[in-house]
Amino acid sequence: MQEDRDQIVVSEVGAFIPRKLFGQKDQIVNELAQAGVFAPPEPEKPRPEVRRVPLVDIARETQWLKEHRHEYIGQWVALDGDRLISHGTNAREVSEAARAAGVEVPFFTRIEPDEELPFGGW
Amino acid sequence: MAYTLTFEVCHEYDPGAPGITVPVILSSGSFSRRVEAKYDSGSTFCVFRRGVGEGLGFDIESAMQQWVSTPTGSFLTYGHEVTLSALGFQLEVVVFFAVDEWFSRDVLGRHGWLQQLKLGVVDYEGKLYVGKYEA
């Protein structure tokens, strides 16, 4: 802490100028400038607009996964309700195939192995 | 002291399943895809598997790079702007796609989702209450 008392300290709450530097105008101004004290405050980012929309329904897809997941472990699948549109190991190709089939908002996932461990969070 | 919050949506999930699963629609340009994600208040960002981003037509490495840390290490992601709809609310946000193929989970985190909403969890009943955040 003794070291801090000999130096200009700029923190979130303000700036501390040690008495030892009083009268050293150029040094004080230079150090404060380097610390960004004279920079205009950053404008607050606008919050994203939040709109109400219908709930996302994946009930039939979830049921399909329960019944068929073991057949497609490690693959990407695109589903429309309980209908399998496309599948494979290349996500881009599976997605494109769903688009080509005319399905606007397919359910899209890679089927991971069944032995899912408890999630540790981050 | 008692506190009262009001919510517009109650999402019921399986409390016996690993994590709190939330149905999501991600959209970019002409692509829209329904996916399942885990609600994770411990995650700074919304992070999805690489293939989800590729399925939306993104060139994953063409955007903003972001390393993400975990208790066991870190992994690289890239952020892309999407329209995210979940639990009755839609917003334009940046979500991140993991570079590595081994990444096996999609999560809704704080930036881009949780910070725009207010949530209440009654995990024993498998209920997630959601409302729009009003400043």
CATH numbers and ranges of domains, chain B: 21-132 (2.40.70.10)
**What pLDDT score does A1 carry?**
44
Which positions in chain A have a beta carbon within 8 angstroms of at least one beta carbon in chain B? 47-58, 61-62, 76, 91-92, 94-95, 99, 104-110, 112, 116-122
pTM of the model: 0.81
ipTM: 0.91
pLDDT, one tens digit per residue, over B15-27 is 988 889 999 999 9
Tokens of A5: 């008392």
| Structure tokens, B64 | 């903003």
Q: Give the helix, strand, coil percentages of chain B, each rounded to 5.
A: 10, 50, 40
- Is B48 a residue whose pLDDT tops 50? yes
Hey, which residues does B11 pair with through a beta bridge? B128
Interior/surface letters B82-111, b for 16+ CB within 10 angstroms, e for the rest: bbbbbbbbbbebbbbbbeeeebebbbbbeb
The domain spans of chain A are 2-34, 59-110
- Report residue A115's pLDDT band, with 50, 70 and 90 as the boundaries: low
Residue A46 pLDDT grade (very low, low, confident, very high; cuts 50, 70, 90): confident
Render pLDDT for A65-106 as a digit per residue (tens, 0 to 9): 999 999 999 999 999 999 999 999 999 999 999 999 999 999
Residue in A48, A91, A94 closest to B93 by CB: A48
User: Using CB atoms, which residue from A48, A56, A120 is nearest to B23?
Assistant: A56
> Is the alpha carbon torsion for A93, A98, A101, A104 positive or negative?
negative
Phi, psi of B3, rounded to the nearest 5 degrees: -125, 145
Share of chain B above pLDDT 70, in %: 100
Question: B84 or A35: whose pLDDT is higher?
Answer: B84
Question: What gap in Å lies between CA A32 and CA B43, rounded to an integer?
Answer: 35
Task: Report pLDDT digits (tens) over B78-88.
Answer: 999 999 999 99
* pLDDT at residue A13 greater than cutoff 80: no
| Mean pLDDT of all residues in A24-39 | 88
